[in-house]
Structure 1
Amino acid sequence: MTEILQTPKLVVVFGGSGFVGRHVVRALAKRGYRVRVACRRPDLAGHLQPLGNVGQIQAVQANIRVRWSVDNAVQGADHVINLVGILHESGRQRFGVVHDFGARAVAEAARSVGAGLTHVSALGASADSQSDYARTKALGEKAVFDTKQDAVIYRPSINFGPEDGFFNRFAAMARFSPVLPLIGGGETRFQPVYVGDVAEAIARSVEGKVEGGRVYELGGPNVLTFKQCLQEMLTVIERKRLLVAMPWWVARLQASILGLLPNPLLTGDQVTLLQSDNVVSDAAAKEGRTLAALGITAKSVGTILPSYLWRFRAAGQFQRKPAA
């Protein structure tokens, strides 16, 4: 009797060539899915190919600002994932267009082909936020649920991992600067979450193991202040640096200048965002909308940072031996 082989499901990942995206693509490829990565520059997505078998991962051109390209990218999809987001505005990349219009475009495209949808937002998203980033993220969530009521929405805290833009950036600064700034005194609280855990949560939603129509808040096992994050990083890279408190007004002044650069270290909107804690809410914990509720044991900063920040040590991967 001839055995009929089923074609693996096709998952389309918008923004799959970015930091979070490469980990999501890897988690999906390990499960045997066919993965179509929709990104603006597929010619720069070659680093994804080794994450799967030959022909398993395909990069296609799509821009969530251009609706027809979104519709084309989702053709034949069984599930759609939207990871697209920006931390600062530049050129045509505006918060409202990317986070709100783009989210609705992806949701409508997924609905049109009958595909499931997983949308990645951000912890702290709120329609009442003074931050344009957080406010448009909330508008994007509303657009998703208005379009697909059974969608899964994830709100991760700061993602950390080998290619992150947080610990890597401050570790790079510590190589040359004797001083690191504590914006607003460094008291803002975060709940850094390992990017691999976020990718696992997303993959489980594709498998149908996550209840739709809910917003899940993803945070790591530890709540750390901004100052504690930098102290943890400095311990890992074995460097001593002076941590100097930067008042909010100084941070805003500095951001007004740095924000003019093509890839700014700090913007005024980010300063506004840093004035609010970025941790999982008590309601999410009580209602089972966390990593733990999804059956995922979150990895700590102390466990993961040494695996990739060693390159910022003076001796690189070769740890210094304590004096006898």
Structure 2
Amino acid sequence: MASNLDTLVTVFGGSGFLGRNVVRALSKRDYRVRVAVRRPELAGHLQPLGRVGQIHAVQTNVRYPASVEAAMRDSRVAINLVGILAQGGGQTFDAVQVKGAETVAKTAAAAGARMVHVSAIGADENSLSHYYRSKAAGEQAVLAAAPSATIVRPSLMFGPEDEFTNRFAALARISPVLPLVGGGVNKLQPAYVADVAKAVADVVDGKAKAGAVYELGGPEILTMREVMEIILEITQRHRMLAPLPFGLAKLQSLFLQFAPGAFKLTPDQVAMLRSDNVVSDTAKAAGLTFAGLGITPDSIEAVAPQYLWRFRATGQFQKNGA
């Protein structure tokens, strides 16, 4: 029986938030991992996730087919994690999440490699959000180039180094008021990043259906207000949650799209908040979920305290109710 050590997996975008977790999951299963990223010199943090020589970073930009072809050389599986939340310069939604995804899929198909494409719950060609429209177009391009590709759509992901729970916890540390765009009534199904990575590794193992679209959401459906309340409880901060109408949020985003760090808010992100981000009934009925892969996902309440304690006034030493 062939060992996973005989299988080289190329992970495009493997140095990011989900990427490092996917690389860790694959390494634990003894796959050889080639991490294809724009800045390999900044991917040194991946090396301790595997044994010496098991993980190798190479320079790749999905906007340039030749670099994608070089990254796929001798590889048996391609995993595309490349995505952006905001556009800038040549890094546009269409260039990265549509054409880039198509380039990876075409290259994988030409090499006879299996294709795993990570998209997002909310991908919809009719969405008000350009991000979600590009995600839908990317899925279509991938399946046209590689019909046997497996697509994974996670809900909003949380975990150490995320730009979700950490962002709002950071805002709560410096602001007495936290805005709830649209009143915070939109529904989410936050998924723990390590669970999503495990699902991606399961797909590589051959446990998923070819050509299928899996939707991965956590064990709870929460409103944005409820998520904010959980973050405030974990960080032991008392802050006012103020509803912010969509119209006003869009107006503010025209300026905040240029703001640094946690204050950044783009018009497209406001549009994304107009729709729910939960697993569809269709996916549940077809078994194309965490449950269908035999994974029991962790909740945000179970995991977030392990890394959000640093946002408490006195860190890990702060007592409950302090």
Q: Same fold (TM over 0.5)?
A: yes
Per the alignment, residue 297 of structure 1 pairs with 296
Letter of the aligned partner of 1:197 in structure 2?
Answer: D
Per the alignment, in what secondary structure is the counterpart of residue 80 of structure 1?
Answer: strand
Query: Structure 2 length normalisation: TM-score?
Result: 0.97
Q: Residues 38 and 73 of structure 1 are in contact (CA less than 8 Å); yes or no, is this contact kept in structure 2?
A: yes
1:8-157 equivalent positions in 2, closer than 5 A: 8-157=6-155
State the percentage of identical aligned residues. 55
Distance (whole Å) between structure 2 residues aligned to residue 34 and residue 226 of structure 1: 39
Per the alignment, residue 265 of structure 1 pairs with 264
Distance (whole Å) between structure 2 residues aligned to residue 322 and residue 177 of structure 1: 20
Query: 1:321: Cα distance to partner?
Result: 5.5
Query: 1:80: Cα distance to partner?
Result: 0.6
1:184-223 equivalent positions in 2, closer than 5 A: 184-223=182-221
The structure carrying a bigger helix percent of its residues is 2
Letter of the aligned partner of 2:39 in structure 1?
Answer: R
Query: 1:261: Cα distance to partner?
Result: 4.3
1:213-252 equivalent positions in 2, closer than 5 A: 213-252=211-250
Distance (whole Å) between structure 1 residues aligned to residue 128 and residue 17 of structure 2: 26
Per the alignment, in what secondary structure is the counterpart of residue 148 of structure 2?
Answer: coil
Select which of 169, 177, 180 maps to 1:179: 177
Query: 1:314: Cα distance to partner?
Result: 1.1
Q: Residues 155 and 191 of structure 2 are in contact (CA less than 8 Å); yes or no, is this contact kept in structure 1?
A: yes
Per the alignment, in what secondary structure is the counterpart of residue 227 of structure 1?
Answer: helix
Question: What is the aligned residue count?
Answer: 321
Measured against aligned partners, the alpha-carbon deviations of 1:94-138 in whole angstroms (never above 9, x if no partner) come to 000001000100001111111111000000101111211000100
Per the alignment, in what secondary structure is the counterpart of residue 6 of structure 2?
Answer: coil
Per the alignment, in what secondary structure is the counterpart of residue 96 of structure 2?
Answer: helix
Q: Residues 8 and 32 of structure 1 are in contact (CA less than 8 Å); yes or no, is this contact kept in structure 2?
A: no
Query: 1:7: Cα distance to partner?
Result: 4.7
Q: Residues 121 and 153 of structure 1 are in contact (CA less than 8 Å); yes or no, is this contact kept in structure 2?
A: yes
Query: 1:89: Cα distance to partner?
Result: 0.3
Alpha-carbon distance change, 6 to 176 in structure 1, aligned in 2, over 3 angstroms: closer
Per the alignment, residue 317 of structure 2 pairs with 318
Query: 1:262: Cα distance to partner?
Result: 6.8
Distance (whole Å) between structure 1 residues aligned to residue 4 and residue 34 of structure 2: 18
Distance (whole Å) between structure 2 residues aligned to residue 9 and residue 109 of structure 1: 17
Query: 1:319: Cα distance to partner?
Result: 3.4
Measured against aligned partners, the alpha-carbon deviations of 1:65-86 in whole angstroms (never above 9, x if no partner) come to 0110001000000111000001
Q: Residues 90 and 262 of structure 1 are in contact (CA less than 8 Å); yes or no, is this contact kept in structure 2?
A: no
Per the alignment, in what secondary structure is the counterpart of residue 185 of structure 1?
Answer: helix
Per the alignment, in what secondary structure is the counterpart of residue 317 of structure 1?
Answer: helix
Distance (whole Å) between structure 1 residues aligned to residue 186 and residue 4 of structure 2: 50
Query: Structure 1 length normalisation: TM-score?
Result: 0.96
Query: 1:322: Cα distance to partner?
Result: 5.8
Distance (whole Å) between structure 2 residues aligned to residue 319 and residue 24 of structure 1: 33
Structure 2 gaps, min length 5? none
Letter of the aligned partner of 2:143 in structure 1?
Answer: F
Alpha-carbon distance change, 215 to 322 in structure 1, aligned in 2, over 3 angstroms: closer
Letter of the aligned partner of 1:84 in structure 2?
Answer: V
Distance (whole Å) between structure 2 residues aligned to residue 17 and residue 168 of structure 1: 18
Alpha-carbon distance change, 262 to 106 in structure 1, aligned in 2, over 3 angstroms: farther
> Which ranges of 4 or more aligned residues in structure 1 deviate by more than 2 Å?
4-8, 260-264
Distance (whole Å) between structure 2 residues aligned to residue 101 and residue 136 of structure 1: 10
Distance (whole Å) between structure 1 residues aligned to residue 168 and residue 303 of structure 2: 16
